[in-house]
Structures are given as C-alpha cells and as structure tokens.
Structure 1
C-alpha cells in the first residue's frame, strides 16, 4: 500500500527564500531513492516561509529508509539549521485504504 510522507518546515521570513531553495534541492534528490513515487511542494499563501511537502512512497519502509539515509546529507543539515522550529514529518495513508 502506498504511503504519504508529509514534511512541514517553517523558515523565518528572512530565510524563506533560502529555505525553499534547500527544500527543493532535497526533493530533487528523492527520485534516487527506492520506492519514491512523487512529491508536491506547497507554499503557504500567507507565509512563504511555511512549506509543506506531500510525497508518496511505495511503502512506509521506503519512506523511513530514505529519511534515515538522508538525515546527514548536507541539504538536510542546512534545512535543519535554517528552520525556526524543528521540521516535522507525518506519515499518512489515503482514507479508505
């Protein structure tokens, strides 16, 4: 069953552009991971430093493995250093699945 991994990041206004750029860089790397299916980057219309990435993976194991392997990548480290609060991940399934 496909799984959704939803990442939420909040970057301070002064770092919103840099935060978005590093988030885009992270997700350009994800197709290289086994089980990756797709993603969409959403920007809060009222707060450009508030980003959501909704990604789809073949399984929870694939999503978890990509997270584990990417945690020390320079892009992930940079994103973690730029945020106003820790990035959050929610794992979800489609209703009715």
Structure 2
C-alpha cells in the first residue's frame, strides 16, 4: 500500500501593515518554502487569503508522507524555530487547523 500524501494546514490573522512581508515569507517561494525544500519529500506550499476577510490566511504545506515531514522537523528543528521566531511579529495569531492525508 502506498503512503498517503500528507498536508499541514495553518490559519493566520495578519494585520494590514505586515501582509506584504507575510506573503513573501509564507508564500510558495518564501522563506518557509525554502526551508522545507531542504528536506526530502517536500512537495510545495500554497498560501490562501480569505476572499471576505483579508486578514485571514491559510497555508497548506504538501509532503509526500508524514514520515518525510517528521524527518524534516527532526533534522531542521533549530532552523524551523529560528524562522518561527523571526516571523512571529508578522501575525496577530496562528492556529494549526490540522494535519491531513489526501485520500
């Protein structure tokens, strides 16, 4: 049986003053995507902005498997934490919506 593709979905509230920088950091060509791309199994990131609430964003990070994501988190935890700290001031809130498999 094949391992199902794995996604992490995050929701962010972003003030107008930081939306441009936020989009650069969290978008498909942003700092997060560049960090994820160091790991095997990373398939890409989507950044979505709510059509009726411009302060609300979602990111969807695509991985070939949960094992690939877990290996990334283990190997790059220091870099992940440093980037998370750097980007903290760009958002009012962040919430992990969940971790999903494509069925």
TM-score computed with the length of structure 2 as normaliser: 0.71
What is the RMSD computed on CA atoms of the aligned residues? 2.2
Structure 2 gaps, min length 5: none
Give yes or no for contact 2:33–2:44 (8 Å, CA) kept in 1.
no
What is the SS of the residue equivalent to 1:90? strand
Q: What is the aligned partner in structure 2 of residue 19 from structure 1? A: 22
In structure 1, C-alpha distance between the alignment counterparts of 2:23 and 2:71, rounded to whole Å: 23
Q: Does 1:2 align with 2:5?
A: yes
CA gap of 1:47–1:21, structure 2 versus 1, over 3 A, is farther
In structure 1, C-alpha distance between the alignment counterparts of 2:51 and 2:99, rounded to whole Å: 23
Q: What is the aligned partner in structure 1 of residue 47 from structure 2? A: 41
Give yes or no for contact 2:10–2:94 (8 Å, CA) kept in 1.
no
Of the three residues 69, 72, 75, the one matched with 1:63 is: 69
TM-score computed with the length of structure 1 as normaliser: 0.74
Q: How many residues align?
A: 94
Give yes or no for contact 2:13–2:55 (8 Å, CA) kept in 1.
yes
What is the SS of the residue equivalent to 2:92? coil
